[in-house]
């Protein structure tokens, strides 16, 4: 068989036509469903059994690495042993017409990645309903010595009709890694990352030759962190920067990002994200048991009477020495007073406290009379003491403004700044939500993934009066690079240019993404 790129090879023929010839008359190639870093996905129609199938076609530059086909067949046989309701099986593999591919059931629904882009994050209970079947699937596979190696939201499918959680592409990262048998690093010979850096365990990033199930549990913890907070635990402007954070940065605490996340759940995520495998849950069953214990026990601790009494005494309340009946009355008063003090301090009652919530994907700075007083991380909140005597908070808000802290040095994207938004009641608290809109103009934040063979530079809304070049560089292999905020229009487009020839070189356009922009954060993921 001829390899791609040889003279007379089939590479000039569209992939869909080549796939149709390779599969034969039994299967009809319907359409291209999606494209990723290592494969294209096509919808098939099985004309004999009247069923929809999905076919992943590996990019030729990956599929034809040395020894790929032999190892591909061997690993596919091992994967065929997996029989679990939360694992999407591989029906068969094949090769022909210069292509290597595998066929699996077609899932009508969306990926967890798409769901997160659409909704931002999940409530803890909803997140656990998705997470627990994944752990069950991992426990089944790990018991047979099989490691996924690429747990991420893109590899979790949510079936529309049944609501089932399905784990896909099991073991494919190992199939694509020519160093897997020899202890090679985390990149293939052609430069494709094996695994995804936002979710990659430290040992996988360092190229450890014998990964075990604890590496999957690290990636699972990173994904669960994103599910409940809206962002991965580590991010950056390049793959190398993100990997460095996995190796050296402190483990983030989910409940510090979002106070509604139960501490037991946050602790479980922290244990999954331990830098050393020995510090994590040792099996998926252990992690699953911890989550189920936490759900059964509830999300928080009750405040006991002694704690309330100490808080009331610290508040300066006068001593009270009643009779026996009076103790009951006094105890009730103390509990009410303590509850009110706690509620006031938490911002649930009173007019002097409010919260700023930053829904954007970049941090913002809070200004008081032009002076910075606080920084609020993405999807984080900050407590503000408002001027007293302003029950509606309107006059108090006038002294505060917010300002976007733009990425890059020098900063890239457009400068966003505005007054503190109108306060709203959210679960009893008064909250000023900062969203991707200023003065009636909506903005969006492209998170750019570069799967091309070159570094690229970006132009937003090219050919219009609102055209802006980001003056940034998105290196090849970069994942979800932040390039700032830009004005959003119904027909907004983005052009990516070869950085070596930004004006005359090859470029690609992305358009029609405006409906996919998250309404609050303005985030949209674009892949080139």
pLDDT tens for residues 506-517?
678 888 899 999
Question: Cα–Cα distances in Å, from 263 out to 223, 256, 275, 527?
Answer: 17, 9, 20, 35
pLDDT at residue 192, as a whole number: 39
Q: How would residue 502 be classed by pLDDT, with cut points 50, 70 and 90?
A: low
More confident: 100 or 192: 100
pLDDT over 90 at 501, yes or no: no
- C-alpha distances (whole Å) from 506 to each of 219, 457, 497, 498 are 35, 11, 6, 6
Report pLDDT for 432.
87
Q: What is the pLDDT of residue 227?
A: 94
User: Helix, strand or coil for residue 492?
Assistant: coil
Residue 516 has what pLDDT?
A: 92
Tens of pLDDT, residues 401-456: 899 998 876 788 999 999 988 888 766 678 889 999 999 999 999 988 888 878 88
Is 150 one of the catalytic residues? Answer: yes
pLDDT band at 218 (very low <50, low <70, confident <90, very high): very high
Mean pLDDT to the nearest integer, 59-79 = 64
Tabulate helix, strand, coil % of the chain (nearest 5): 30, 25, 45
Who contacts 24 (Cβ-Cβ below 8 Å, separation ≥6)? none
Q: Which of 254, 251, 275 is nearest to 265 (CA)?
A: 254
Least confident of 267-271, 279-283, 357-361: 357-361
pLDDT class for 8, splitting at 50, 70, 90?
Answer: very low
Strand 400-404 with 417-419, pairing: antiparallel
CA distances from 388 to 53, 353, 393 (A): 64, 9, 9
Among 34-48, 212-226, 228-242, 440-454, the least confident range: 34-48
Alpha-carbon span 217 to 287, nearest angstrom: 8
Q: What is the pLDDT of residue 453?
A: 79
Give 338 or 228, the one with higher predicted confidence: 228
What pLDDT, on a 0 to 100 scale, did the predictor assign at position 225? 95
Query: Which residues partner with 458 through β-bridges?
Result: 496
Q: What is the mean pLDDT of residues 179-195?
A: 41
Q: Are 148 and 170 in contact (CB under 8 A)?
A: yes
pLDDT of residue 49 exceeding 70, the answer is yes
* pLDDT value for 100: 83
Q: Is 316's pLDDT higher than 70?
A: no
Question: Which segment of 84-88, 313-317, 396-400 scores lowest on mean pLDDT?
Answer: 313-317
Q: Give the model's pLDDT for residue 156.
A: 92
pLDDT score recorded for residue 133: 93
Q: Could you tell me the CA-to-CA distances from 136 to 42, 110, 188, 211 in Å, in that order?
A: 28, 21, 30, 19
Task: Give the residue from 441, 444, 358 showing the smallest Cα distance to 403.
Answer: 358
The pLDDT of residue 114: 87
Mean pLDDT of 3-17: 57
| Nearest CA among 525, 452, 421, 520 for reference residue 482 | 525
Closest CA to 226 of 120, 358, 148: 120
CA separation, residue 259 to residues 96, 256, 427, 457 (Å): 54, 6, 12, 38
Q: Which is it for strands 523-527 and 441-449: parallel, antiparallel or unpaired?
A: parallel
333: confidence class by pLDDT, cuts 50, 70, 90: very low
Higher pLDDT, 389 or 517: 517
Mean pLDDT in residue range 151-171: 84
User: 273 pLDDT band (50/70/90 cuts)?
Assistant: very high
Across 39-56, average pLDDT: 87
125, 126, 150, 392: which one is catalytic? 150
pLDDT at 221: 96
CB atoms within 10 A of CB 498: 18
Q: How confident is the model at residue 178 (pLDDT cuts 50, 70, 90)?
A: very low
Backbone angles phi, psi at 376, to 5 degrees: -115, 120
241's CB contacts (< 8 A; 6+ apart) are none
Q: What is the percent of the chain with per-residue pLDDT over 70, rounded to a whole number? A: 73
Q: For residue 366, is the peptide bond before it cis, meaning its omega torsion is within 30 degrees of 0?
A: no
pLDDT value, residue 302: 36
Strand partners, 474: 456
Q: Is the pLDDT of residue 322 over 80?
A: no
Mean pLDDT, rounded, for 118-123? 87
Long-range CB contacts for residues 253-259, cutoff 8 Å, separation at least 24? 254/225, 254/228, 254/229, 257/229, 257/377, 257/379, 257/380, 258/121, 258/228, 258/229, 258/379, 259/381
Choice between 265 and 170, residue whose per-residue pLDDT is larger: 265
Provide the token pair at 192: 């494709």
pLDDT band at 328 (very low <50, low <70, confident <90, very high): very low
Measure the CA–CA gap between 359 and 186, rounded to whole angstroms: 33
What does the pLDDT average to over 230-234?
Answer: 91
β-bridge pairing 353-358 and 429-434: parallel
Rank 141-155, 190-204, 309-323 by mean pLDDT and report only the highest: 141-155
The packing angle between helices 284-297 and 263-272, to 10°, is 170
Instruction: In whole angstroms, give the CA distance from residue 379 to residue 252.
Output: 14
- Mean pLDDT, the chain, rounded, equals 77
Quick check: 135 pLDDT over 60? yes
């Amino acid at each position: 068989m001829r390899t791609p790129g040889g003279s007379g090879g089939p590479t000039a023929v569209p992939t869909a036509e080549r796939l149709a010839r390779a599969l034969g008359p039994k299967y009809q190639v319907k359409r291209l469903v999606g494209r990723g870093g290592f494969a294209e996905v096509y919808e098939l129609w099985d004309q004999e059994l009247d069923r929809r199938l999905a076919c992943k076609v590996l990019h030729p530059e990956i599929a034809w690495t040395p020894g790929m086909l032999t190892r591909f067949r061997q690993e596919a046989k091992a994967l065929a042993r997996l029989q679990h309701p939360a694992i999407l099986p591989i029906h068969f593999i094949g090769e022909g017409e210069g292509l290597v591919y595998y066929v699996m059931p077609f899932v009508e629904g969306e990926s967890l990645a798409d769901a997160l882009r659409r909704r931002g994050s999940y409530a803890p209970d909803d997140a656990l309903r998705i997470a627990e079947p994944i752990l069950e699937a991992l426990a089944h596979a790990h018991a047979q010595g099989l490691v996924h190696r690429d747990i991420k939201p893109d590899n979790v499918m949510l079936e529309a009709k049944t609501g089932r959680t399905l784990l896909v592409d099991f073991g494919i990262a190992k199939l694509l890694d020519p160093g897997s048998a020899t202890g090679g690093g985390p990149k293939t010979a052609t430069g494709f990352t094996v695994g995804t850096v936002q979710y990659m365990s430290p040992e996988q990033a360092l190229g450890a030759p014998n990964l075990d199930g604890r590496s999957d549990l690290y990636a699972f913890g990173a994904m669960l962190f994103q599910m409940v907070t809206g962002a991965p635990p580590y991010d950056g402007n390049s793959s190398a920067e993100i990997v460095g954070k996995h190796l050296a940065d402190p483990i983030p605490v989910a409940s510090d990002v979002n106070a509604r996340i139960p501490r037991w759940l946050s602790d479980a995520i922290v244990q999954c994200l331990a830098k050393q495998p020995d510090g994590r849950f040792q099996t998926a069953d252990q992690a699953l048991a911890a989550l189920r214990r936490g759900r059964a026990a509830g999300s928080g601790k009750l405040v006991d009477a002694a704690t309330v009494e100490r808080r009331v005494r610290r508040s300066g309340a006068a001593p009270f020495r009643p009779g026996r009946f009076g103790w009951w009355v006094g105890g009730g008063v103390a509990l009410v007073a303590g509850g009110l003090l706690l509620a006031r301090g938490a911002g649930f009652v009173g007019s002097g406290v409010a919260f700023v919530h930053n829904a954007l994907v970049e941090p913002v700075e809070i200004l008081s009379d032009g002076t910075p007083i606080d920084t609020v991380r993405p999807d984080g909140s900050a407590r503000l003491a408002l001027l007293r005597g302003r029950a509606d908070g309107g006059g108090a808000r006038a002294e505060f403004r917010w300002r976007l802290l733009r990425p890059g040095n020098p900063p890239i994207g457009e400068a966003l700044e505005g007054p503190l938004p109108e306060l709203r009641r959210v679960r009893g608290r008064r909250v000023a939500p900062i969203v991707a809109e200023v003065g009636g103009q909506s903005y969006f934040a492209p998170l750019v993934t570069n799967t091309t063979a070159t570094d690229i530079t970006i132009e937003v809304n090219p050919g219009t009066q609102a055209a802006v070049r980001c003056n940034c560089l998105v290196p090849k292999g970069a994942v979800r690079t932040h390039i700032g905020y830009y004005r959003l229009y119904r027909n907004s487009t983005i052009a990516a240019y070869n950085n070596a020839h930004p004006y005359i070189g090859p470029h690609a356009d992305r358009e029609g993404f405006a409906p996919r922009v998250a309404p609050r954060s303005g985030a949209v993921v674009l892949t080139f």
